[in-house]
């Protein structure tokens, strides 16, 4: 199925219990439950049957089942099961915040250190120095996690504080609905007057939606003037959103800008281990390393791989091993194989030689820097689709001939000198190549 359908119809479901041949899921609303039953139940059953080698029955319940007026229980499909005791929903002062997205579950590494520190500072001293805080980075790298962690931390220290978390998509939808229903006053009151902190996720969605962007601009100003903290995330930096108005973009520069890049190998391993611990998954070290080297550019996919492994291992009653992971995640790993980017290569090479990526991009020529730089250029040529010019640009604007000669030199040296060949293989291994 498409990832969009998956997000819409499958992601909101939760697994309530799985015992013997019965799997119980829970849907947040009757609509979703019905849709799943009509469209996906059959497929889900046959997939489970294929995986486990036996017939598995799926029941889907409604979350927060209440007794109906006639005293019958609501939401149980079929009549044979008695519902198992459900875990009580996590108590949260703000139901827009995901309980899992807290600072203490966020693994910090060089790739996200700055954004995490800025977020923590803002949560401690909202509206003071870093207003707005603008966090940007690729998908699945923890922007939403950090944004919501700010909300949680603020509510923890000041329970009465009004935290408003929403995506810009929801802002747009509510804005449009309020206009239609002539309820703009209410809409404005809600966002401009009643928020102590505004956490706006995925601002790139405003691009090209002029009237909604304008509404947000005024919301921003109203909050800012009253010293309220604003935090914004985006999947790209402001200057790469040509369809956003200049005046809004310039507001984003007023405060602090922090980026998040894909995590290094060590951080990826820590994230996996943390997640496994949290979910009680037995994850051997070699499997953690295997996953972390196979999936590099997206933490969400990394987590997804772990969840998938855990689900398959429990369905098939097998323990998780590298061989099991390879078999189970075949497609996912294949898909990630071509995904290695010059940026990832630069980071791993720099870390390997104890340098900073800025050294690789600099004009400095001592061998301790130029040698790693040439290796990194060579690896970019060998393992990515980036052109010579592009590689040159990513290394601080070097000429394409520089890249070409570095690549040639390393190819030759790796044939002639064992030591260089070993270095390159070690790096490739770290990169999961
Ligand atoms: P984004 O909003 O940048 O697309 P998310 O915040 O939704 O990404 O993160 C995707 C998933 O990866 C979430 O489940 C999040 O908890 C997890 N994640 C990302 N970075 C980290 C990290 N540093 N430590 C722990 N979990 C992380
Ligand atoms: Mg997000």
pLDDT at 99 over 80: yes
Rounded to the nearest angstrom, the distance between the alpha carbon of 144 and the centre of ligand 2 is: 4
Residues enclosing ligand 1, CB less than 6 A?
101, 105-107, 112, 139-145, 271, 299-300, 303
pLDDT at 269 over 50: yes
Sorted by sequence, the CB contacts under 8 Å of residue 339 that are 6+ apart come out as 296, 297
List the single range of 270-274, 385-389, 403-407 with lowest mean pLDDT: 385-389
Rounded to the nearest angstrom, the distance between the alpha carbon of 141 and the centre of ligand 1 is: 5
What pLDDT is recorded for position 395? 95
Helix, strand, coil percentages (3-state) for the chain, rounded to 5, are 55, 10, 35
What pLDDT is recorded for position 24? 84
Among protein residues, the one with the nearest Cα to ligand 1's atom 25 is 106
Among protein residues, the one with the nearest Cα to ligand 1's atom 6 is 142
What pLDDT is recorded for position 167? 95
Q: Please give the model's pTM, rounded to 2 decimal places.
A: 0.66
The DSSP secondary structure of 43-69, one letter per residue, reads HHHHHHHHHHSS--EEEEEETT--B-T
What pLDDT is recorded for position 240? 87
Confidence label for 63 from pLDDT (cuts 50, 70 and 90): confident
pLDDT at 75 over 80: no
Among protein residues, the one with the nearest Cα to ligand 1's atom 18 is 142
The ligand whose atoms approach the alpha carbon of 143 most closely is 1
Ligand 1, atom nearest to 267 Cα: 23
Rounded to the nearest angstrom, the distance between the alpha carbon of 122 and the centre of ligand 1 is: 19
Ligand 1, atom nearest to 100 Cα: 16
Mean pLDDT of the chain: 87
Greater model confidence, 39 or 20: 39
Locate all alpha helices (DSSP H) within 158-259, ordered by sequence. Answer: 168-180, 184-188, 210-225, 246-252
Integer angstrom CA distances of residue 2 from 40, 132, 165, 300 = 13, 35, 27, 16
Confidence label for 15 from pLDDT (cuts 50, 70 and 90): confident
Ligand 1, atom nearest to 201 Cα: 2
The DSSP secondary structure of 4-29, one letter per residue, reads HHIIIIITT-EEEEEETTEEEEEESS
Rounded to the nearest angstrom, the distance between the alpha carbon of 142 and the centre of ligand 2 is: 7
């Amino acid at each position: 199925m498409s990832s969009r359908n998956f997000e819409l119809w499958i992601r909101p479901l939760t697994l309530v219990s799985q015992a013997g041949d019965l799997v119980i899921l829970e849907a947040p609303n009757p609509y979703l439950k019905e849709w799943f039953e009509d469209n996906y139940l059959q497929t889900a059953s046959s997939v489970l049957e294929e995986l486990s080698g036996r017939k598995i029955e799926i029941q889907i319940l409604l979350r927060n089942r209440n007794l109906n007026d006639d005293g019958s229980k609501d939401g149980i499909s079929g009549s044979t099961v008695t519902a198992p005791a459900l875990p009580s929903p996590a108590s949260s002062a703000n139901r827009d915040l995901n309980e899992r997205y807290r600072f203490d579950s966020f693994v910090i590494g060089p790739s996200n250190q700055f954004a995490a520190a800025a977020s923590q500072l803002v949560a401690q001293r909202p509206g003071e120095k870093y207003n707005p805080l603008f966090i940007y980075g690729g998908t699945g790298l923890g922007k939403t996690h950090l944004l919501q962690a700010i909300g949680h931390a603020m509510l923890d220290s000041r329970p009465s504080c009004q935290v408003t978390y929403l995506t810009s998509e929801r802002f747009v939808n509510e804005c449009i609905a309020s206009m239609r229903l002539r309820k703009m006053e209410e809409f404005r009151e809600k966002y401009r007057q009643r928020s102590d902190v505004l956490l706006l996720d995925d601002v790139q969605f405003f691009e090209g939606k002029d009237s909604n962007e304008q509404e947000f601009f005024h919301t921003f100003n109203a909050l800012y003037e009253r010293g309220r903290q604003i935090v914004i995330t985006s999947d790209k930096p402001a200057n790469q959103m040509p369809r956003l108005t200049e005046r809004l973009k310039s507001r984003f520069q007023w405060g602090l800008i922090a980026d998040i890049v894909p995590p290094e190998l060590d951080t990826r391993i820590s994230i996996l281990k943390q997640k496994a611990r949290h979910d009680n998954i037995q994850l051997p070290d070699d499997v953690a390393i295997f996953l972390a080297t196979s999936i590099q550019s997206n933490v969400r996919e990394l987590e997804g791989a772990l969840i998938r492994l855990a689900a398959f291992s429990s369905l098939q009653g097998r323990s998780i091993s590298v061989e099991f992971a390879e078999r189970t995640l075949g497609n996912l790993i294949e898909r990630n194989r071509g995904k290695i980017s010059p940026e990832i290569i630069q980071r791993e090479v720099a870390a390997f030689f104890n340098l900073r990526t800025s050294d690789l991009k600099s004009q400095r020529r001592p061998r301790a820097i130029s040698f790693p730089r040439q290796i990194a250029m060579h690896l970019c040529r060998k393992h990515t689709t980036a052109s010579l010019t592009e590689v040159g640009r990513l290394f601080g604007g070097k000429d394409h001939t520089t890249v070409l000669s570095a690549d040639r030199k390393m190819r030759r040296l790796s044939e002639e000198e064992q030591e260089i060949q070993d270095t390159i293989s070690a790096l490739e291994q770290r990169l999961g190549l």
